[in-house]
Structure formats: C-alpha cells, structure tokens
Structure 1
Amino acid sequence: MTPESIQTFVSYVGTLKGDEKGEAQVFCDRLFQAFGHAGYKEAGAILEDRVKRKGRGTGFADLSWRPRMLMEMKSRGEKLQRHYQQAFEYWTNMVPDRPRYVVLCNFDEFWIYDFNTQLHDPVDRISIHELVDRAQAFNFMRPIEQEPLFENNRVKVTREAADKVAHVFNEMVSRGENPKRAQKFILQCVVAMFAEDCKLLPDALFTKLLKECVEQKGNTYDLIGSLFTQMNSPSPARGGRFQGVEYFNGGLFDVIEPVELSETETKLLYDAAREKWDKVDPPIFGTLFQSSMNADKRHAMGAHFTNEADIQKVILPTIVKPWRARIEKANTLKELTSLAEKLLKVRVLDPACGSGNFLYVAYRELMNLEMEILAKIHEKFGERAKKAVGTASLVSTTQFFGIDIDEFAVELAKVTLMLGKRIALAEVEGSWFDRSGELPFEFERPLPLDNLDESIVCDDALFVDWPKADYIVGNPPFQSKNKMQEEFGLAYVNRVREAFPDISGLADFCVYWFRKSHDCLEKGQRAGLVGTNTVRQTYSRESGLDYILENDGTITDAVATQVWSGDAVVHVSIVNWIRGKSGLKESPLRTQMGDDRDSPWKIENVKVIPSSLSSDFDVSKSKKLTTNARSKVCYQGQTPGHEGFLLSNEEAETLISKDATLRDVLFPYLTGDDLLSTFPSHPQRHVIDFQQQPVNSAAKYSAAFELVKSKVLGDREKAAAKESERNSEVLESDPTARINKHHANFLNKWWQLSYARKALLSQIGGLSRYIVCSRVTKRPIFDFICSDIRPSDALQVFAVEDDYSFGIFQSTLHWRWFLSRCSTLKSDFRYTSNTVFDSFAWPQQPSLASIRAVAKAAVALRECRSSIMTDNKWDLRELYRTLELPGDNPLKKCQERLDAEVEKAFSFPANSDPLEQLFLLNLKVAKKEEAGEQVVGPGLPAIAVGENLVSGDSVRPR
C-alpha cells in the first residue's frame, strides 16, 4: 500500500457512476488492490456472502472478509444511516468468526463501525477524497493487519472525560465536601461542559471561566455559581459576561449550591473541560457513575454496567423490530401518519434504570423509527408529505420513565437523557435528511432541556407503583439468593419476601423484576430484561419465566447464557417477551459456548422458546420422585466453614506420629480440584472433624483441639458479634421481625465443622467406596472414592459402591438430564440433588444380563481412563479435555459402549429423543408412586443383590 496506489483508486472511483448493482464489485476489488492485495479474492474475501437472518431467510452481504471486515455497498447519493440496520443484522448473524469492522460505503463516503466497542455511531467517517490522508483508519485492510487510527472513537473520549470528572468528585469528597452537594455540582458541570461544545453556551464560556480561576486566581464559588444561576433563569442577562446564556431547565439547575473548589480541583476540572464533550457517548457515560460510587456499595446494590451491544439485545427485539415490521407493512399516507402519531404516545419504562443507558438507547431508536416513517412518507408522497406531516412533533425524552433506588443514579440518568437528546437530534439531522430544505418538518430547539424530575424518580421499584408503559426494559440488580441477606440485611429481605409471597425464597433477586414487569403488562405490551442465567433454572425459573409463560406470556427472543459485558463476574440470560401471542413462526435463541467474552455462539431458530431457554426437549416440568429423595444415596460433602479445620498432609502426619489417637479426628479430605487436577487423584489435606462430640470430649485430642481453638474460635466470636449487632438494628425497627442466628449457632459449637454431614458419614461408613462428582463441573466425570476419605462440599456424593450404579451415573443419558435440570455457575454446571438426582428415573425393568453388561462396561471405562492417565501422567481434567478434540479416542469408544449398555437397560424406543423418554419415564414413575405402587430407585436393583459387581478400584490417600 502506498499513497500513489490509494490516489489511483480515488481517481478511478471518480470515473464511476456509483451504481450499486453494476459497479460495487469492481469497486471492492480495486479497494483491496489499493491497500496492497492482488484483489479481493486473493485476499480471501467473498462477494455476495450468504448470511442466514433470523426470521427473514437468507441475505447476501456485499463483501465479507472474516474475521476482519464486512462491507455493504450502496449507490452514490444514498443516505448510509438508512442502511445501518441491514449491516448490523448481517454482522449479528455472522458467527463464528464475526468480522471486527463493518464498513458502509456509497462510493463517496465510508462509514466504519466497530460494533464491539461503539455500536450506533461510526468510529470514523471518511470521504473518498480524504482517503489518501486518512488511510490509517483502514489499517485493518493491510496485508499485515495493523491497529487502525479512528477520529470518532466516542468510547475513548467518554472514558477519559468521565475519569477526569470522577477524579474531581473524589477529590471534593475526600476533603470533606458533602457528597450529595458534590454530586449535584459535578453533574451541573458535566452539562455545562457538554453544552459549550455543542454550542448551547456561548463561546466556550465554562472553560474560559475555569481558565480565569486557574490563571488569575478567580473563585469558582462566584464565577461558576453565577453561571449556573443564569442557566437556571428564564430571564436572559441583558449584559455582562453571561449575556447570551439561555435558560436550561428547572430540573438539574433548580437548586444552585456554589462550591469553592481547591486549586487542585479547579485545575482538574479545567483539564476535564478541554475534552471533546460533543463526542461523549451517553450510553456508556455510566462510567462516571461507576468510578464515583463506593465499590462496596456498588456490590451490595448489585450495580453493574452494560455495553450497548448487550442493551440492543433487549431494545431491538422488544421495541425496534415490532415497530419496523409495522412500518414496512404501512404503505398509505394515512397508515404512515397514523404510525407517526402513535409513536409519540409510546411510553418506555426501566424500573432499575441506573445511569439511564437503556432509556437513552431506547430514546435514540424511537427517534430513528420516527425518521424511518417520515423518510418513507417523504419518498413516497413528496410535497404532499409536508402538508400531511406539518411541523412534526419529535419523540420526546418525557416519554421515558425510570426508577432507581440510588439518588445519584437517578440524577445521572436525567443527565444521560438530556445530553443524549442533543446528540441524537444532531445525528438524525445530519444522517437522515439534508439540512437544505429536504426536511418535511422543523426540528425543535435544543433549549430548554426537558425537565425529567417527574419521569425518572428515586424509589425502591419493588415497593412503588410503576408508571404505565408500553415497553419495560432494563437490567435489574444482580444478587444471588445466597447473598441477599448478607448484602441487604435481614429486615429488607423479610420485607421483600412478605411483599412477594408467591416467589420462592430460593429465587435470585432479579426474578422479582421479571415477575412485577409481567404483572404490569397489558395485552400486546412487551418487556425485555437481563438477568443472571439462573432465571432459566430451578426455583428462579419457576418463580419467574414459568410464571410468565403460564400467565399469557410468550418469549419472543432470548439469550440463554452469555458472558457478562459489565464488571459483575456472572453469566447472564436476556429474555424478551410479549403479553399474548407473538405471531412469530420462529423465534431466535442464542447461547454462548464458553467463559470468555469472545467465546463462540450457537444461534438457533425455534418454534417455541421454553422457560428453560433451551432447544432441547423441555424437562422443566419433571416431578420430584419420592423414591429418589428417600433413597439415602445423594449427599453434599462436608463444609468445614473455616480454613482452621484443614491441615496439610504433612502437618497431619506429624501430629499423628506424636499421638496416634488423633486418627480418630484427623481424616484425609478430598476436594473437587483434588479429584480432577492431581495425578493420580488424591487428597492434599486432612480435616479435623470432632463430629458431634461435646467440647470436653473434643478437648481430649489436645493437639487438634488447640489448633482449632487458636484459628477458629476468635473468628466465630467476631462473626457472631456482628450478627448480633445487625439483629439489634432489625429489632429496633421491627420488634416482631425474624432474626438470624446463623453465626450464633456456629459459635455455640465452634470446635465442630459447620456442616459435618452425619447422615452422609453414616451411609458411606459401611461401604468400601462411594461415587463422587465435582458439584460444579464442565464435564461428566465420576469416580469411586475410598471410604477412608472425607469428601468436601465441592463434591456431590453418591453412597453406592457397585459398578452398575457407576455406569448409570457416568452415562451420557444421566449427563444430559444433569445439563437440562441443573443450575449453573458461570458456564459450569452445578449438580443439584433436589432438581437433578431427585427427578432422575432409573431403569425400571433391567434384566440381570443388562445390569452385568452395564457394570462390565463401567469397569472397562475406568480401566481405560487409568491406563491413558498413567501413560501420559495426566489428571482427569486433562484426560477429558481430549474428548473435545476430533479424531479417534479410546476413552470415547469406551464411553460409547457404556452408553449403549445403559440405553439397553432403559429399553427406550430406537431413534427416540433420550430427554423426552427420560421425562416420560419420570412422569410414569411419579404416577406409580402416587398410586402406591413399587418402583425401582437409585442403586443396584434387587435382582442383582448377591452378584459380584463391586470391583476394587478407588481414589485413595497417598
């Protein structure tokens, strides 16, 4: 690539008519040549690449060059903004190897998008005549790719501006300024800095005032305070330095509390003011919110931040696509003007609005929808359009409503919409129509800003009536059921559960928003929410998505699970639904397959999206089987509750060498990592377990007892004291409230494990070995453990010792049931006894020959595992990773033989869906239990008792 080669290309383009159909392909080929390739084909690009679009058949992308670029060509003179949605839709469906950059071009201009960082606004706009000087923006097109240099990177500008302002805020608070006063002042400064760069304040006034304060020792209390006072005055200054300052509004500026900044703070604010505030991107301006919030508070409230690509996974299917379908269908002037009028009555609510990101994106998309309607009217009806539309009343920020419990978040949300309105108007004005009179309406004046005090309010959304809305969108707080009490306090948790008695106390916090959102919807209205991916599992699913589907709801679009884009370390589900029927023949269901943000995706179109958000047969309505629940087979391992109960093997051996009686209370202790990540698998620590001995009996084992006393007692006393303080606060406000005695109970028996699992030890005590799997796992790995070993709570324990039972647990049938019924931690699967084990129906009429065959295949599989691991010095995790690779694998063949024998034991019909058959068997067994009939439960069937089906292999202490 040389300047000469690019100039040759530019000159050539000048000879073209700019016809999309006839000249686009040769344009693309010459563009590749300009950047040093022999041509597009030699570079590996594809013309007219097929892209399957959800619900819209197959499209043809003009040029795809994965994973670098997607390019869409339009005829000369075409408004590129009108084709953004088509390009974005192609990009969304181009998985795997989705292109990093998307380019729209009309022969005269290139718009370059990087949807991973900046979704709506191009990172650069380059005219054909600027290409020689601006070629570095196309560095991704070079034969050896380089980092491009863009001039419209809003993300970078926004982060730098937000960080600088947050620095000022933190400085103010650290020296003792009232935080609320500082927040209000900082937000007023943000609006002023934005306003002067957007020409809403005259002649860089705010920056000049700060410069005067820095260089001439002016006082911010006087100068900035006076400016804000004038910005709040409907009466313009008749003279002086504030002449020309217009009225902003009576919301953010209704109370002016001047602040005298320190010299350092003034310099920091002056530095912030010189950023390009007209390039600030409102959807990510929440970084200011994030940076200036206390980290502990942010965690407690479940506050987190969404990038725009994820916001669009709610806004597009919930709001934009249904409206776009109506616009495409409308063809008469009456139909189109009716849609324009209806759009102005749309109301959108985010009941957990945070800094307003969802509301702003929804506002901008509604404005673009309005532009689509007006553009269609203008193109189809010409001069008649001006008479029909008149002076259009544009979509207003007052159509958008928000609720948040954090006062600063509410104020920031108002500012986000205020700033966003001006940016959105500018984008619309410059992208959809020419400024030269093509507009069939007049844009409203940017000032005064809308007063949003009545629309966006500070309150607890769970205990306040919500404004009526056509669409409910947002990102409710993430907080697991296990940490709600710790983070929110017992009194608040009790209040929530009393207000929502139909929601399980084991459901995650976000489920309350799903439930209340659906209850607020009327027929035909829609909602789209982000939740932890537990919303599709167990109690959260039953209280949320099951409720929605059972009460006239239809899921229209969903992400089953994906890596979260914000700072909360979770995987999320995104669910969009309508109250009533959707009318869709197919609905898109997306699943990210991995733990990294760039992990690949599986995209499916399904007839119905169930509450499990899975295309597999829905087994969510399986019954709990009494036989399984009472079988005394499935247990969770021991929970010490404190590291002080654990010793290294060397420490334990040293103690036992001095006092052999310590063998009564010191035991090898196996964790999930010990099982999967050591070769050979073995316990790496011992546990001190006095079981239920009273303190005087435990004290006889003095060496172990003193260790526990020195390491555990003090911490348990502190935890109990903190709990007592919290309980006292709860009882002060409500003497009848239930209080928590969790840590008090642990203190009363401080020398004992938190959960010693007496019933578990009783069951495995009479066995030579027992089966375990890691409770949180990616792979189906079960193994036998010697009964001398104590299992940790990271292990799911099955108190059976026979090879037949092992074969059933290790089978793919059981694994698929496990995947369909379990909960998850990130993308790993969690074995849950009450949902997985208690509902898994075992073979009801296996023959003795079949039982023997399953046991034999199970032994052969473990022997194969042991042989490979010994030869390669692999642990179990390393071994099972090889199953994910293509090619022959002896372990894979052993698994297939085991699966074949297990399927024979179940006697399912050939070519049937295994999940469906397991579900039907579950219902059949449950029905027999209800009728009092005998059924076959977990473990070795009665007909096989006496058979020699217990081999000798197991994980043992080293």
Structure 2
Amino acid sequence: MNGDFKERLRDFVEWWRCYCKGDEKGEAQIFLDRLFQAFGHKGILEAGGTLEFRIRAKKGVNFADLVWKPILLIEMKKRNTDLSKHYEQAWKYWIELIPDRPRYVVLCNFDEFWIYDFNYQLYEPMDKIKVDNLPEHWGALAFLLPEVKKPVFRNNLIEVTAGAAEKVADLFKSLIARGIEREVAQRFVLQCVLASFSEDIDLLPKYLFTTLVDECLRGKSSYDLLGDLFRRMNEPGETAYGRYKGVDYFNGGLFATVEPLELNTDELNLLYEASYKYDWSKIKPAIFGTIFEDSMNQNERHATGAHFTSENDIQKIVYPTIVVPWRNRIESATTIKELNNLLNEIWSFKVLDPACGSGNFLYIAYRELKRVEKSIIDKIREVRIRNKSKNREETGLSFLSAANFYGIDISNFAVELAKVTLMIAKKLAYDELHVHEDVLPLENLDDNIICADALFVDWPEVDAIIGNPPFQSKNKMQDEFGTEYLHKLRSSYSRIPGRADYCVYWFRKAHEVMKPNSRAGLVGTNSIRQNYSRIGGLDYITQNNGTIVEAVSNQLWSGDANVHVSIVNWIKGDFSGRKKLILKDKIIDDIGVITSSLMPGVDLNVTKTLKCNENSKGCYQGQTHGHEGFLLTPEQAIELIKEEKNLDVVFPYLGTKDLFVKKNRLPSRYVIDFQSKNVVEARAYSKPFSLIMQKVLPVRKKKAMLEQERNKKILDIDPDAKVNKHHNNFLRYWWRLSYAREELIEQISKIKRYIVCSQVTKRPIFEFISSRIRPNASLIVFPFEDDYSFGILQSSVHWSWFTAKCSTLREDYRYTSNTVFDTFPWPQTPSSENIIKVAKASRELRQVRDFLLKENNLNLRELYRTMELPGENPLKKAQQKLDYAVIETYGFTKKDYLEELLNLNLNIYQKEEEGQHVLGPGLPNITTISYNDVFSDDYLKME
C-alpha cells in the first residue's frame, strides 16, 4: 500500500495512544469513525455504515455498535474485556442481519480486534490484531478499504485442515495405486490420522508419531515402528518402558485390527509433512472427515474444502433442535433438585444422524451438549453458593459420552471417519471445559455408528434426530441408484409419492420413528416444501402431530454451491413457544404457525384444483424433442423447405434463451415435427424423414434395449413390479418428438398467436408468439390470443400466486400447471369495461416494452432487471397501470392478493361442487365487446 495509507494508520495508532481510555459508551463511536478515516473513508456515515444499529431481541431491541452492510458488523467492549465472553452475542446479532448479512464480524476492546468470518469458521477468529500493530498487520482488515480487498488471515483453520487432509488423502491414493487392499489402506490411514491428532492434543507423548515417521525416513521400517505403536495403542494399561513409554490404551475399535504397512519414501514424506507441518490441535474435526473423503475421491490433487458443510450451517440444525430446548429448561430451573433432574436426563440424552457421513453433525452436537452439561453444573454451583448450601461438593462432567451418539451411513469409510471424529471430540471437549479426568480409553463406537442403508434398517430410539440426508432429485434417482434400487425404495415406501425427492424419505421415516416430544432437524432440497415432495414429507409431519418450530425457507447450502436447501426443525407434539421462520430477506419471530410450505401468511396448501381450469386446455409445457437429431440450423431448414411440402413438418423452434437473451427474440433453431403422422405418412417427407432415421433411430433402439434389460432384472425378482417403458414407447414412434404435445399444437393451430412464459424464471415476463413457431419444453404455453388474458397472466396478481404455488429450481421459480394454473382463480364478475381496460393496459405495456428494448438495445432479461432498481422506470409505470386494472376487475380491496385469491379459489370450488356456473381461464363471452377492443396484431413472428 502507498505511504499515505500507512501514515494514516500510524496517525490513528498515535491518536489511540494519546486519547483512548477504552470507555465503551463514551468513545466507541469516535474510535470507529477514526478507524474508518484511517482506512481511507471520510467517515462511517459517508461510507454507508450505521452506528447503533437496531437489532431485534427476545425481549425488546439491542443495538449493534456498527453495521456496514454487506461487509461488516463491529461490536465494541470496554478496555480489558475478555472478548471470548462476547462471541455468542456477536453471533446472535449477525444471525439477525438479513438481508445483506455482513460477511465479517469484529469484536474490539479498544486494544485488540478479533475478526470472524462466521460463514467460513464459526468459533475461532480468523485473526487477532493488536491496535498498536495495525500499521504492520492491517491485512486482516483489508475489507475496510474503500475498494474492498480480500483480507489476509493468519488463523485460517479451514486452510490448515484442508492442507493436512490433502496430504493424508494423497498417502491413501498412493497405497491404493500400488495394490494395497482398500480396507487395509483406509484403516491404516485412519490410524495415522488419530495418531497425528493425539500427539498434538496430548493423548500420545508429544512428537512421538512425527519422530517415528522421521526415523522411518532415515532408514527404519514403518512396518515395525508404526505397527508397534498402533499395537501399544490397543493394549490395556499404559506402556511403562521402552520406545513407546507413556502410550496409553486407546481402544475405540480403530486399533482392534493392526495391519502394518511398509511405506515407500514418497509416502513417508507425505505422512511426515502431514504430521510435522500441521498443528493438528488446530485442525477442525467437524470438517476434516468431509474434506479428507472428498480429496481422496478427486482425480486431481487438491483439497479445497469447497464441499464441506460449514459449522454455521450445521448449527442451524443443532442449535434449535438440541441446544435451545435444553437452555430454556435450564433457565427455568431454579432448585437443586430440578437441576439435578436435568443433569440425569442429559446423561441419557441420545442423538442420531441417519445419514452421518464423516460425523460433522454428530461432532458439533456432542460438543454443544457437553457445553450444555457444563452450564447445568455451573448453575448447580451458583444455586448452592446463593443458598449457602453446606453440601457444595463438585459434580463431575464426564457422564455424557460419545456413546450417546448414533450414526448410520451407506459408506463404510465414512462410518470409520465418523468414529474417529467422535473420539477426538471427547478430548477437545474436555480441554475446552477444563475437565480434569482421563479421556482414555476412548469409547468403542462400533455398535453406535453402523454401515447400512438407513432407509432399510431399524433406527435406534433417540431423543433427537439431526442431519443432512442425501440430495438427489426425483429426476436423477434412477440414473444415480439404478432401476432395481428405485423399485425397492418405492415398494417399501409406497406411502410417499413416487415423484418426491430422495431426501423426503428421511423426513418421513424420521417422523414415523420419533417418540412423543422428541425433536428432529434435517436439511432437504428446497423442493421439500413444494408439490409431491411436500406431500410425502412436511405435509405428513404437520398433519401427524408434528410442529415445525424453526425453519429456513430457502438458502444456498455450504456443502455444494449448486444446491439450494430448506432447513426444518420440528417436534413430535404440541409446541407453544417461539417459532422462527428465516426467509431470504427477513426473519419472522413468534410466527403463529410455520406451514409445510415454509412460508408466512396464508396457507395455500388448502387450495383446490378447479375443474374449470383443469379442463380449459389453457396451459401446457412446450415440446420435448428428446434427441438433437430433430433440430436444424436455419441453413438446414432453408434447404429443406425449398421443397414446399416440407413446410408441413419443419418449424421455427423457440426456447427460453432465444426469447429472453437474444435481442430480436426469434428462434435460432428449427425442428422436424411429424406430430401424429404414422411412419408411412412421415416417410412421404423423404429428406426430413431420412435425417431422423439416420440420427435418431439407432439411439432409440439402443436405449430401448438397455431399458428392457433393466426391466427384466426387476421382473425376475417381482413379476408384478411397475417398470419404466418410456424408451420402448419412444422406439415405437421413433420418428416423432419424445413429447410432441399434440393437444397443445392442435390448440395453437386454431389461433394466430399464443402466450408463453419461461418455465423457470426469476421475473414475470410473458410474451405473444406466432402460432407458426413451435415452443420447446423450456416454455409454458397458454393458448389464448386475446389481450385480456395476457393482462391477467402478466399481472402482479397472477405473479403472486405463481411464486406462492410453484416449485423452485435453486432460487428461480418453476411454473407448474397443476399447482399454479389449475388452482389460479380468474375474475368471476368482470364487466365489459373491466375487460377492455385490462386489454388496453396489456397492449400499452407491450408497446412500452418494445420501445424500451429497441431504443436501449436491450434484451428482455436486461430490461426486466432494471425493474429491480430504484427510480423512475416507464415499464414499472405500465405494469402498475395494468395491475390497477386487474385488481379492479377482481374487485379486490386488500393489499394481500393471496388471501383474496385463496378465498376466491375456495368459493369457485364450492360453486363447482354445487353445479353452479363459474368463469374459467380466458376471455369471457361478452357480446358487448368488439374484436378490436381485446385483440391486436403484435406478436413475435418469423419474417
């Protein structure tokens, strides 16, 4: 950095030395303002920060000293304050700060900055900087600069953990590459891992393992030295003499079998680097296993930690499901008897993770419960002192053990990792809580954590179920698991809709096996709150004595950057306490009911499918070609349609990208579509037919054959099994598109234009398309050609229903005809004046839109992104005018469209049940309206 910056930092430190007394109330604001000035800002307010930022609390309001979204939260404490005691306060403040939650959190006592990144490293500061060292060590606060720079931290334990995991994983891969049996290599490497931890956390004599590896590098045999060490670790009692003096009995199951290996020089170097270069006392067991397992499976040598689940995300399960209920009970207990009862209960409290992986969730649950156990003991001590009790004997802190924790996983290696993780947890918890008792021998967890498919074994009876079940969408389950497994799954869980996502089976089984008043907290794909997945899981839970007490509706999961999840914590029974729902842009405390949709407000799960909509032929998904052989470039299409009759089967083919990303919004591909023609009729179009026969037929033959082979295996086991036949059906009509949507094509062929929207979208964008153009499956099609219908669909009224009733793909909304269109109530008493007003407003909106696109050289997506910005926008005005006309047509009086739409949906349904007349989708048949009032000629068409 330049000299001026360093000089400003030195000036700040000099000011601090001369004038700062460390008074939290009197000096915090000026201290922070001076700090911002030192980093190049005019001041906090000019930078956009807020002093004394209001944060909701359980009782009243708290005030954070500084919030500078989305970068920083700072909490000041007076001089000489132990900042570690205020960590939890800072974390609770940070949790509440949505939207735009700050990335970094700083605790400061006027002499020292403790810098946290809770998304990355939950408990330990990423760095600590003395104020008087700021000119030299400002890098950890680099995010304070006007042009934010990536901070440089000196206590990045994630990087330390990933580095150590990579070395050990490379050792494992080397063993496998030279022919060592996988099970032997796994056990040996895990024994090395536990030994590396143990020598740095005082379970083995200091440096013993590293020294042994060094001696092997100098010519001695790892078969002898390491093999003998592992045998001593499995012998009862402490080794009294010799080379292994001081080695205690570990047990733990891991050393029950010792198969020593003779390592080559490269392998010894990897092991030495792992044990010597890294301080294993700083390695994070909560993520080590996942990173280790991930890096073992990489084709390239790296272990970035990109796929581990952050401790902060794990806490979103552990904290509300386990910690909060216990803390509430401790807070309300006032007598020694009540507290002793709690202590006895926690000693028998059991936790299960039925998809435990390498033990991340179990590790954090163990650590948190040990802290809860200590808080009970501390309170017993406080009550005894307050009551001047003569009986003040200390209560031990060793009864809650790793044996209280259970796990199931389908991967044998993950199971072994989980055992090691929990073994280490015991020692680290004892050190943190200053428990002066022997840690060794470790518990043998072979009966607690087992290798099995959790969906097909009995689960132990426990008090809490936590975890992160496998993410697999319903569409990929067959490819991932195979037809046989899928048949077994659906046969065993026929009570769950076949179109539910895989994680739903864990939610369902968890609730079925839970005992009364026990709790569960699970992570699921965000589809668990939608459609078939919701029906199979959360609907069942809430309808069968389950109460959701805290949930995250939708968030990006730290375990995989491409997965959006929902987090649900529930109790099997009634719950009258505070319920909390976390949305993307706000947190709702004390919500009365959290519905199975994990949304506030009106419960739209009670909506009804309307016959007038379902039978209207008013909503379809576009065509699925199923094979690239059906698609043509414009040049290929022009060549084919030189023969005029081919116009019958060659069409422009429009997809979402063409419509929303291209500036002319026109198709870039064509499609060969024989519709319902039989093979003889299709053969008459010789050139198009020949293309399909060459490109599509061989592939469909092959896929049908593979499907038959898979089905035979299933039918041999169960002759009554339901098997997939869609590839066989595709072969039967191989010259046709996979899903040609004959009914849709028939509907649009009767009209000049039709309405489309993207099936998956973030924004409400509808458009008229020429009926000569074929829509592909990325589009939802509404075969209406009138401006009134367009206006209803383009309105905010329809959008609010769409976003509330649809499914989602990551953060985008997915239009689903059965849940959105089939339930959406259209206006029931529109006057001719209303209809004309809506039609006119919809035309004007399209005119404004077309003008803005052309004048500003934008595509539709770019134009609609401007709607999200503050300030004047002609398109916003046009949309508002349309919305007013639609609201007036409905006769709505409230701002909450959803409540009024729900009431209208139920009202229409009741009328249909009674045989009364209702209005379905589309333009009502009103004779006083002329053609020109509701029809126009603006639509996308090929020249």
Paired residues, number: 925
Counterpart position of 2:351: 348
Counterpart position of 1:243: 245
Take 1:549 and 1:516, find their aligned partners in 2: how far apart are those partners? 14
For the pair 1:91 / 2:91, whether they are aligned, the reply is: no
Q: 1:334 to 1:152 in 2, by over 3 A?
A: farther
What CA deviation, in whole Å up to 9, does each residue of 1:836-868 have, x standing for no partner? 111111112222222222222222222222222
Counterpart position of 1:596: none
Amino acid corresponding to residue 591 of structure 1 in structure 2? L
- TM-superposed CA distance for 1:184, in Å, is 1.7
For the pair 1:312 / 2:315, whether they are aligned, the reply is: yes
For the pair 1:919 / 2:902, whether they are aligned, the reply is: yes
- TM-superposed CA distance for 1:144, in Å, is 7.3
Q: 1:929 to 1:740 in 2, by over 3 A?
A: same
Conserved 8 A contact 1:779-1:880: yes
Conserved 8 A contact 1:192-1:201: yes
For the pair 1:100 / 2:103, whether they are aligned, the reply is: yes
Counterpart position of 2:921: 938
SS at match of 1:241: helix
Take 2:704 and 2:182, find their aligned partners in 1: how far apart are those partners? 33
Conserved 8 A contact 1:9-1:31: no
Counterpart position of 2:871: 887
Counterpart position of 2:623: 638
Select 2:534's aligned residue among 541, 548, 552.
541
- TM-superposed CA distance for 1:923, in Å, is 0.9
Q: 1:98 to 1:779 in 2, by over 3 A?
A: closer
For the pair 1:226 / 2:231, whether they are aligned, the reply is: no
For the pair 1:399 / 2:383, whether they are aligned, the reply is: no
Which range moved further: 234-243 or 126-135? 126-135
Counterpart position of 2:790: 806
Identical-pair percentage: 53
Q: 1:4 to 1:622 in 2, by over 3 A?
A: closer
Conserved 8 A contact 1:283-1:361: yes
Counterpart position of 1:905: 889
SS at match of 1:103: strand
SS at match of 2:474: coil
Amino acid corresponding to residue 52 of structure 1 in structure 2? R
What CA deviation, in whole Å up to 9, does each residue of 1:53-103 have, x standing for no partner? 3x4431122444555543444566765444322111011112345343333
Conserved 8 A contact 1:378-1:385: no
Q: 1:372 to 1:110 in 2, by over 3 A?
A: farther
Conserved 8 A contact 1:861-1:898: yes
Counterpart position of 1:409: 414
TM-score scaled by length of structure 1: 0.90
Take 1:879 and 1:166, find their aligned partners in 2: how far apart are those partners? 49
- TM-superposed CA distance for 1:165, in Å, is 1.3
Counterpart position of 1:615: 600
Conserved 8 A contact 2:471-2:503: yes
- TM-superposed CA distance for 1:226, in Å, is 2.1
Amino acid corresponding to residue 230 of structure 1 in structure 2? R
Conserved 8 A contact 2:832-2:929: no
Conserved 8 A contact 2:461-2:515: no
Take 1:926 and 1:38, find their aligned partners in 2: how far apart are those partners? 62
SS at match of 2:583: strand
Counterpart position of 1:475: 468
Conserved 8 A contact 1:6-1:35: no
Select 1:450's aligned residue among 436, 443, 451.
443
Alignment of 1:75-474 (within 5 A): 80-105=83-108, 111-125=114-128, 137-140=140-143, 147-216=150-219, 218-274=220-276, 275-285=278-288, 286-293=290-297, 305-379=308-382, 381-382=384-385, 387-429=392-434, 442-474=435-467
Take 2:52 and 2:298, find their aligned partners in 1: how far apart are those partners? 51
Counterpart position of 1:486: 479
Take 2:420 and 2:710, find their aligned partners in 1: how far apart are those partners? 37
Take 1:632 and 1:473, find their aligned partners in 2: how far apart are those partners? 45
Alignment of 1:653-664 (within 5 A): 653-657=638-642, 659-664=643-648
For the pair 1:554 / 2:547, whether they are aligned, the reply is: yes
Q: 1:242 to 1:488 in 2, by over 3 A?
A: same
Gap regions ≥5 residues in structure 2: 1-5, 301-305
- TM-superposed CA distance for 1:697, in Å, is 3.4
- TM-superposed CA distance for 1:628, in Å, is 1.1
Select 1:829's aligned residue among 809, 813, 816.
813
Q: 1:765 to 1:69 in 2, by over 3 A?
A: closer
Take 1:99 and 1:716, find their aligned partners in 2: how far apart are those partners? 53
- TM-superposed CA distance for 1:294, in Å, is 7.1
- TM-superposed CA distance for 1:828, in Å, is 0.9
Counterpart position of 2:764: 780
- TM-superposed CA distance for 1:350, in Å, is 1.1
Which range moved further: 509-518 or 885-894? 885-894
Amino acid corresponding to residue 761 of structure 2 in structure 1? T
What CA deviation, in whole Å up to 9, does each residue of 1:723-748 have, x standing for no partner? 33333443454454333222222223
Q: 1:20 to 1:335 in 2, by over 3 A?
A: farther
What CA deviation, in whole Å up to 9, does each residue of 1:316-354 have, x standing for no partner? 222222222223333444433433333222211111111
For the pair 1:590 / 2:577, whether they are aligned, the reply is: no
Gap regions ≥5 residues in structure 1: 297-302, 430-441, 593-600
Take 1:575 and 1:113, find their aligned partners in 2: how far apart are those partners? 26
Conserved 8 A contact 2:373-2:397: no
Conserved 8 A contact 1:394-1:443: no
Which range moved further: 507-516 or 130-139? 130-139
Counterpart position of 2:676: 692
Take 1:411 and 1:820, find their aligned partners in 2: how far apart are those partners? 43
Conserved 8 A contact 1:165-1:272: yes
SS at match of 2:458: coil
Take 1:914 and 1:425, find their aligned partners in 2: how far apart are those partners? 56
Select 1:670's aligned residue among 638, 646, 654.
654
SS at match of 2:256: coil
Conserved 8 A contact 1:646-1:687: yes
Q: 1:386 to 1:479 in 2, by over 3 A?
A: farther
- TM-superposed CA distance for 1:280, in Å, is 0.8
SS at match of 2:894: coil
Take 1:345 and 1:180, find their aligned partners in 2: how far apart are those partners? 34
Take 2:458 and 2:681, find their aligned partners in 1: how far apart are those partners? 59
Q: 1:137 to 1:568 in 2, by over 3 A?
A: closer
Select 2:60's aligned residue among 29, 51, 57.
57
Select 1:628's aligned residue among 606, 609, 613.
613
Take 1:35 and 1:631, find their aligned partners in 2: how far apart are those partners? 64
Q: 1:631 to 1:251 in 2, by over 3 A?
A: same
Take 2:15 and 2:929, find their aligned partners in 1: how far apart are those partners? 85
Q: 1:734 to 1:193 in 2, by over 3 A?
A: farther
Take 1:312 and 1:266, find their aligned partners in 2: how far apart are those partners? 37
